[in-house]
Amino acid sequence: MSVLEEVKPMDGAETTVPTLAEATAFVWGEADMLDRLDYKPWLKLWNITGKYIIPTLYGQVDYAEVLNIVYDDQTMREARVRRLLSGFSMSSAPPARTVRTVSRFVVTTAGEGFIELRAAQMLAEYKYGHMRFLPADLRFRLVRGADGGLLIDEKVVTLVNAEDYQFGIGYLL
Amino acid sequence: MSNHDYATLVREDRVHTSLYRDAAIFDEEMDRIFKNTWVWVAHESDLPGKNTFKTSWVGREAVIVTRDRDLKLHVLLNRCRHRAASVCEKKQGKASVFVCPYHGWSYDPDGRLRKVPHVAGYPADFDTSESPLISLRVETYQGMIFATFNQEIEPLETFLGPARKWIDLFMKQGAGYGVKTLGEHKFRFPGNWKIQLENTTDAYHFPIVHKTFLDSLDEDTENVFDVLGQGGWVEDLGNGHSVMVMIPDLIDLEDNLDAPIPERFAELADELRAEGHDDATVRKVVRAVGGSGFNLNLFPNVACSMAFFRVLRPVTVEETEIMHVAIGMDGGPAAGNRMRLRLHEHFQGPMGFGTPDDAEGWERVQRGAAAGTDLWIMLNRGVEAPEGVADAGHNAGDVSAETGMRAAYQQWKRMMAA
């Protein structure tokens, strides 16, 4: 049984409010998928109207009217995954190897069918003899899907050095 | 290394690999080129009113670009005249005074030393007017701000020469509203700055390196980005500047305004109409939204590249920082600028569909260049440009010619061997 299946609510559960434990397990499952480049199943973790955002500014709250590193709706996420898995992008074939951990979870709000939380992500990448470290604050809004499992409605990855230079990133954060 | 030695490293059709590798050559470049010519530092829209500033670089030296209370622009070394502490560590903003955090010396936005705390500790003849922030020469063209350490060189407009025609055309993407910067992507690659300089007029790599970007487009748009197949060309504009025209139909964004609106912009056109814009405005905004059909490369550090400014900064002989500055309409319809932001994010930046592959390609050049002892970088590609496209008297080649790179290296040679 995968982590994600394990945390689906059981029949007859009294509430649809996701718990911290459920949300944490979901986010860990997502992180594991990303490190394993399991991108096609990753697309299925998303609410169809969900937004995947990596800002260029630390502390940004409105993303549509400013420049971001990533501002993906479903169409762009699918295109991005096709690109990364195509084998024709030299920065992602092969991509850097990554190891990430997500922790320091804080629930900011939760209600019927949704939960919002903050977390910290520590990610190391390795390619061509370089080891780089990309720490980030994460913000998630997760919603309960029709099948009872959680879906990502918004994921914001704010790199600790969001305003500063990055190197090319040939994988998903 | 003598002037003669520098001259031997650049031939008509090739340059020596040491230009990517040799730290001593890099140090000389910073002096002979970056401290000796016009270097792009900011766009006027980065400084939107009195007492505004933006920090920037001229070669390896940190500067503050300021606009004083009379709206005059200044470019100042970011270094206190007392014991050298940087006086500004913010990226951009408003300031009517810059105060050194170490001993409190304060400077006006024009660089004048305003006040020194406990001045009685200096001899009676201490004169604050003798210690302003070091000021560079500054000139602008079409909102682009350039600075130089060299008080003697020609005016900016003369230096730009025939490139001005292309800057004028590029700024038409303001769709009549003027051009404004909308944000920046910054990234580095472990490689020499000239590898990036070459790339801006390199159409040859586009279908290979950017295959996955092209595959992410609808068929019509993919045809627009068939950069090798539209009769484009590369033209040497003198002083190391060059232009690569990839999409001749998009040279002048005020032409062909009656042409049908492409499918991919239909939704934007509808949105603009719904906001009450007249047909002429809608057509102008939509035609300009994807940018110009050419890359203009200005030696040594900035390009007007289709829909954005590309700025390079040499960090070390083997590290370069690049900034892709998104631009939009200054006061134009918000929907148009939103579309420009999303288009920019699609290709540009550290996770764009284009930039990471460029950066990886350039890194591979630097890694490969470490092999071999006396090998050359070949820049001999190119056949005749299509008849009559380039301005009379200009050296030009086909769209995939390495004409622009040869032009840049001839300028490098003139400056390094001078």
Q: Chain A: nearest CA to B211, how far in angstroms?
A: 7
Span B354-366, pLDDT tens digits: 999 999 999 999 9
Q: Is residue A173 part of a domain?
A: no
Q: Which residue has the higher pLDDT, A8 or A157?
A: A157
Percentage of chain B surpassing pLDDT 70? Answer: 100
pLDDT of residue A2: 46
> Which CATH number goes with the domain that contains A92?
3.10.450.50
Q: Is B209 on the interface with A (CB under 8 A)?
A: yes
Chain B residue numbers with beta carbons less than 8 Å from the beta carbon of A66 are 182-183, 341
**Nearest Cα residue in chain A from B208:** A88
Q: Is residue A70 part of a domain?
A: yes
Q: Is residue A49 part of a domain?
A: yes
Interchain contact, A166 vs B187, CB within 8 Å: yes
Prediction ipTM score:
0.94
Span A102-147, pLDDT tens digits: 999 999 999 999 999 999 999 999 999 999 999 999 999 999 999 9
Segment B340-356 shows an average pLDDT of: 96
DSSP helix/strand/coil, B257: coil
The closest CB to that of A86, out of B182, B212, B351, belongs to: B212
Chain A interface mutation, best of B329, B351, B362, B363, highest count of A Cβ atoms under 10 Å: B351
- Please write down the HEC assignment for all residues of A16-41: CCCCHHHHHHHHHHHHHHHHCCCHHH
Within 13 Å, how many C-alpha atoms sit on residue A77's CB side?
A: 24
Tokens of B47: 């400084």
pTM score, whole prediction: 0.95
Q: Is residue A171 part of a domain?
A: no
Span B290-309, pLDDT tens digits: 999 999 999 999 999 999 99
Q: Is B357 on the interface with A (CB under 8 A)?
A: yes
Span B247-264, pLDDT tens digits: 999 999 999 999 999 999
Q: How many residues does chain A have?
A: 173
pLDDT of residue B32: 97
pLDDT of residue A3: 46
Q: Is residue A80 part of a domain?
A: yes
Chain B residue numbers with beta carbons less than 8 Å from the beta carbon of A170 are 356, 360
Q: Is residue A133 part of a domain?
A: yes
Bridge partners, residue A124, by sequence: A99, A133
Span A6-46, pLDDT tens digits: 444 455 455 799 999 999 999 999 999 999 999 999 999 99
Q: Which domain holds residue A144?
A: 20-159
Quick one: pLDDT band at residue A59, thresholds 50, 70, 90? confident
Beta-strand runs (E) in B267-348: 294-298, 302-305, 308-316, 319-329
- Number of domains composing chain A: 1
- Please count the other Cβ atoms lying within 10 Å of the Cβ belonging to residue A60: 16
Distance CA B195, CA B190 (A): 10
pLDDT of residue B1: 75
| DSSP code at position B203 | -
Chain B residue numbers with beta carbons less than 8 Å from the beta carbon of A168 are 187, 189, 350, 355-360
pLDDT of residue A13: 52
Interchain contact, A90 vs B321, CB within 8 Å: no
Segment A87-105 shows an average pLDDT of: 96
Q: Is residue A79 part of a domain?
A: yes
Residues 6+ apart with CB under 8 A from A29: A2, A3, A4
Distance CA B207, CA B185 (A): 23
**Nearest Cα residue in chain B from A166:** B187
Interchain contact, B216 vs A83, CB within 8 Å: yes
Name residues 115-174 of chain B within 8 A of A (Cβ): none
pLDDT of residue A60: 86
Tokens of B268: 């934007």
Interchain contact, A167 vs B359, CB within 8 Å: yes
Chain B residue numbers with beta carbons less than 8 Å from the beta carbon of A56 are 183-185, 349
Interchain contact, A168 vs B216, CB within 8 Å: no
Span B194-228, pLDDT tens digits: 999 999 999 999 999 999 999 999 988 998 899 99
**Nearest Cα residue in chain A from B319:** A167
Q: Is residue A13 part of a domain?
A: no
Chain A residue numbers with beta carbons less than 8 Å from the beta carbon of B350 are 69, 166-169
Interchain contact, A168 vs B367, CB within 8 Å: no
Span B168-203, pLDDT tens digits: 999 999 999 999 999 999 999 999 999 999 999 999
- Please write down the HEC assignment for all residues of B14-68: EEECHHHHCHHHHHHHHHHHHCCCCEEEEEHHHCCCCCEEEEEEECCEEEEEEEC
Q: Is B294 on the interface with A (CB under 8 A)?
A: no
Interchain contact, A128 vs B211, CB within 8 Å: no
Tell me the CA distances in angstroms from A145 to A9, A83, A113, A142, B250, one per residue in order. 11, 27, 8, 9, 46
Percentage of chain B surpassing pLDDT 90? Answer: 96
How does the average pLDDT of chain B come out, rounded? Answer: 96
Q: ω before B155 within 30° of 0 (cis)?
A: no
pLDDT of residue A6: 45
Interchain contact, A67 vs B344, CB within 8 Å: yes
Interchain contact, A68 vs B345, CB within 8 Å: yes
